[in-house]
Amino acid sequence: MLDEFSACEKVVKNDLGMQTAIRKRGIADMDLVMVDAWSAGNFGLKEEEGKRLVRALCWLKTSPADNGYARPISGLYAFVDLNKMEVVSIVDNGPVPLPPRDGNYTPDAAGRIRDDIKPLDIVQAQGPSFQIDGHEISWQKWKIRFGFNPREGLVLHTVSYFDKGTERPILYRASLSEMVVPYGDPTGPINRNNAFDAGEYGIGMLANSLELGCDCLGEIRYFDAVMSDSKGHAVVIPNAICLHEEDYGILWKHTDWRTEHVEVRRSRRLVLSSISTVGNYDYGFFWYFYQDGSIEFEVKLTGILHTQALPPGVKSKYGNLLAPQLYGANHQHFFNVRLDMMIDGMNNSVYEVNTEGEEKREKIIRSAMPLLPKLGN
């Protein structure tokens, strides 16, 4: 749970064993140590049965506003029982030198940001083209209901499309049901990195409060998300959901070269979105609705890679160096989406379509190959 991230960090930094191990690495100020709680998985180990464990991985910041992911404290991590909120074991494989470079990305730290582009303003003087009634959106021929929960985040309900006088049902429910991030490094502690970001952390609970002009552009409508923390207390995430329209370029165009008459239709889409931060990763979830009746779901991956420190001159075949002595392991992000379709009613089916070459034509081409002149003749 979200509030347990902070509690876990406090427990690790107050643990005498961890303090001793960190000071052994020449780090005196525990306030600059940054701790991320990674799920431990289940590997059938008897000593881990019945416990809600996380692995506490540590990084060092050079100042309170520093990007700690630039300096992993590798070779050291702890297992924390979240139910008891205590360190149950410490793994110390010996000190690894800290990477030498900063990884700060703020304009103040970088010195400046790009200044060679003029402002791009999106203005809708007459307001947006959508209408909102509680959690129901009407736009063009679309009607969409939406919700939000701690595990899945943004959820669509009863999506329909008004077609030739009839409101046709399209979706009963749609959401991200799970996502998993497996890592390809067999060495510890990365070998246990296999995070289920929805089921183990809660994509909805980790949603950002979005800001006009940064996360979304244009004539925006925001919605809050209301959930509960691990103690059952209400938690409100302001502006967790963003609704706006986007110009989407040319939808259709034709030029009659005989009459020089030109017709252009521009495309517009409705965007319903949210963004969640899971430790070092940031995920943007975008549901797009188009004027031609199509729906698209896009996930944008951004943020910072999960990092480990390597000794000087050492490389790993399981990933790449991001900076001197700073290593990012190979990994994947799998997104599973639940689509409860209801196109024109309940009797829907799924089928797969593949394009195959015409067999007769392929045979003709193969039989003609020996007759073709050789290259250079």
pLDDT digits (tens, 9 = 90+) for 151-193: 999 999 999 999 999 999 999 999 999 999 999 999 989 999 9
Given this model, what pLDDT does residue 111 score? 75
Angle of helix 2-14 relative to helix 16-23, nearest 10 degrees, comes to 70
Residue 92 bears catalytic tag: no
Choices 3.30.300.30, 3.10.450.40, 3.30.930.10, 3.40.50.970: CATH for 2-103: 3.10.450.40
| 131-341 and 2-103 share a CATH fold | no
**pLDDT, the chain, mean:** 92
Q: Report whether pLDDT(373) > 60.
A: no
Q: Which of 13, 31, 9 is nearest to 21 (CA)?
A: 13
Contact 73, 95 (CB under 8 A): no
> Which of the pair, 216 or 53, is modelled with greater confidence?
53
Q: Report whether pLDDT(374) > 80.
A: no
Residue 281 bears catalytic tag: yes
**pTM exceeding the 0.75 threshold for the entire prediction:** yes
pLDDT, tens only, 225-246: 999 988 899 999 999 999 999 9
Give the domain ranges of the chain: 2-103, 131-341
The residues, any chain, with a CB within 8 Å of residue 161's CB and separated by 6 or more, are 141, 142, 143, 167, 168, 170, 293
Catalytic residue among 201, 281, 283, 327: 281
pLDDT, tens only, 292-315: 999 999 999 999 999 999 999 999
Fold of 131-341: Beta-galactosidase; Chain A, domain 5 (2.70.98)
Given this model, what pLDDT does residue 377 score? 46
Catalytic residue among 161, 197, 201, 327: 197
Q: Report whether pLDDT(376) > 90.
A: no
